[in-house]
Structure 1
């Protein structure tokens, strides 16, 4: 993603992937061509993209549910899995604004002309984003 002269990059955080995805679609419908959604976290691991739903028997690990890390091979990366499992968010004793999954783990980045920053900001906040 490249920001040209006269443009600005806006970074917005969302607590829900659905809201973030809807915001990206709305931004694109408004004519903002460069808008993308990413999942963010505090650990240097590759996060899985699949949906971990314990009610549908689709959750393999507790860290997969809380830190989106179910794709870490349990036989190869046992040290990584142990460290992730020790995170306070996994135990359910997350601290206020600690960054547990579902807090604000989704990032929407959009490049906008400077004269349309307020318009993009309005769309983002309409879908629950925080700049």
Structure 2
């Protein structure tokens, strides 16, 4: 696959979908058109497609409940639950996952403006 040499791709990672959506709207407001939000994870399993209520739902592990992952098996669930992000203390130890990826494709002349907007909305570019 070849990309036009004038086209650049920026990847901005956000801790919440709401922040990624705000950045996308801000970019659209300034005329950016090639934008896409995806859910990414550092874990090898797929993310849960629905949220589970811990009081009424049936969840398979702590990792499923706190990390939103669908465990491939019992062993994986145990290992994932040992992750600091599953304890609820992740924000204090600096391992909060930035699991929402906003992809921005733009021309060279607008790369810096796209970066400024994404970072202003809480993204890491």
Residue 110 (structure 1) shift:
0.6
**TM-score by structure 1 length?**
0.73
TM-score normalised over the length of structure 2:
0.76
Q: Against the structure 1 CA distance between its residues 84 and 57, is the aligned structure 2 distance closer, same or farther, given a 3 Å change threshold?
A: same
**Alignment of 1:97 onto 2:94:** yes
Partners of 1:127 and 1:64 in 2: CA distance: 28
Residue of structure 2 equivalent to 1:85: 81
Alignment RMSD, CA only? 2.8
Q: Distance in 2 between matches of 1:59 and 1:123?
A: 40
Cα pair 2:48 2:68 within 8 Å, conserved: yes
Q: 1:29-68 residue pairs with structure 2 within 5 A?
A: 29-52=29-52, 60=59, 61-68=61-68
Stretches of structure 2 that go unaligned for 5 or more consecutive residues are: none
The 1:46–1:125 alpha-carbon spacing in structure 2 relative to 1, beyond 3 Å, is same
Structure 1 unaligned runs (5+)? none
- Counterpart-to-counterpart distance in 2, 1:33 and 1:48: 29
